[in-house]
Amino acid sequence: MHFIHVESWIKSGGVGRGIFVFSFFKISLYNIMKSVLFIFFIFVLASTNFRLVTGSRGDQDPIFQSCLTSCRQDNCKGPNPNNNLSFFLRLTLWSCSENCAYECMHRETNRRRNNHQEVLQYYGKWPFTRILGITEPASVVFSVLNGYAHYHGFKRLQKELPIKHFMVPFYLYNAAFGLNSWIWSIVYHTRDLPITEKLDYFAAGASIFYAVLYCILKTYELYHGRIAAFLGISLLIGYGFHIRYLLSTPRFDYSYNIMITAGIGIFQNILWLMWSIRNWKTRPHAYKMTGIVIALITAMSLEIFDFAPIMELDAHALWHAATIPIIFKFYDFLIEDTKWELVHGLQ
């Protein structure tokens, strides 16, 4: 499409639509990701005064505490105790004190397993076996695959769909937000630190808030630039207040964050399910969205029924594994549905 045609099309499509489309002709995925990452760093730098500390039964256990005290007294004295750590532990920012907590956690976990006792959480986490300093290797691998699924979807959207369709730019931005969220999931599961935890939660929240925008536009077929701009600005303000509240509390409000993000996720699933049922008779592929919603809700249940790791896989890691094929199927659906609308003159 020549630039002159794009310019006239933007003018005819409304302000909001023009902003999204023009930016995708001027900005590559690489530049989009740089901008998004910069925004998240600003949020994190503004919030470094708060630490995220969660107590669990394991780290309050007297045997664990005794081990921890002895280890720190024996190994963490001197001006540079971290120099005794391996290269990969120093590379992933482990401290001598944190390494003692890790060693004592696994010592106590092995003792409890040998005595057929319950495996406990420590500092809000299950006792995973780290690899090369990576705290949760399985979740890192699955996060990488989820990120690739969004990247692959982005490239397919660019290749297979014309930019002239109203929803295509929104789908492209959704892929960018999804990729960003999984990048920070990789970082967080590599090393669970206050700063990486916030980045993970903020990125996931941004992706969920943005998904509401294109979900409403799509399911109600509100293909109008001004409506998109109004909804986008409203959701951006809502996301800003959401982050502002999370940064205003002395401790990170996990319950509030889960309530908001899960509530928005359920709302989106309801909209997609209603759209799918409403279009079963007119669109031969509409039933596929019903299957995607059911699969996603089933996968989400893994987050509710938490359990100790089995072969290094806990419920959270399995949740990440379950979403990989769902993301691929979701982009299959978006491409198929958009092609159907183009054939039937719905743009």
Angle between helices 3-13 and 15-26 (to 10 degrees): 150
Q: Picking from 17-21, 106-110, 230-234, 337-341, which range would have the lowest pLDDT averaged per residue?
A: 17-21
pLDDT at 2: 36
Q: Average pLDDT for residues 136-141, to the nearest whole number?
A: 94
What is the C-alpha to C-alpha distance for residues 298 and 291, in angstroms, rounded to an integer? 11
Compute the 3-state secondary structure of the chain and give helix, strand, coil in percent, each to the nearest 5: 70, 0, 25
Mean local confidence (pLDDT), 139-148: 97
pLDDT of residue 25: 40
Q: What is the pLDDT of residue 250?
A: 84
pLDDT of residue 312: 81
For residue 233, pLDDT over 60 is answered with yes
Tokens (6 digits) for 190: 């590599």
Closest CA to 215 of 160, 151, 283, 270: 270
Domain edges within the chain: 3-51+135-343, 62-114
Mean of the per-residue pLDDT values of the chain: 84
Distances (CA, A) of 97 to 71, 126, 203: 8, 18, 29
* 3-51+135-343 CATH: 1.20.1070
pLDDT of 31: 52
**C-alpha dist (Å) from residue 246 to 201, 204, 211, 257, 276:** 10, 14, 20, 8, 35
Half-sphere exposure of 68 (CA within 13 A, CB side): 17
Here the tokens at position 47 are: 């919030």
Q: How far is CA 67 from the centre of its chain?
A: 35
Q: How much is the pLDDT for 130?
A: 94
pLDDT tens-digit profile of 309-339? 788 888 889 999 999 999 999 999 999 999 9
Q: Is the pLDDT reported for residue 126 higher than 90?
A: no
Q: Which residue has the higher pLDDT, 162 or 301?
A: 162
Q: What is the pLDDT of residues 241-254, one digit of tens each?
A: 999 999 888 888 88
Whole-model pTM?
Answer: 0.82
- Res. 6: pLDDT tops 90: no
Q: For position 55, what pLDDT does the model report?
A: 59
347, exposed or middle or buried, with CB in 10 Å at 0-12, 13-18, 19+?
middle
Q: Binning pLDDT at 50, 70 and 90, where does residue 46 land?
A: very low
Residue 333 pLDDT = 97
Provide the pLDDT confidence category of residue 38 given band limits of 50, 70 and 90. Answer: low
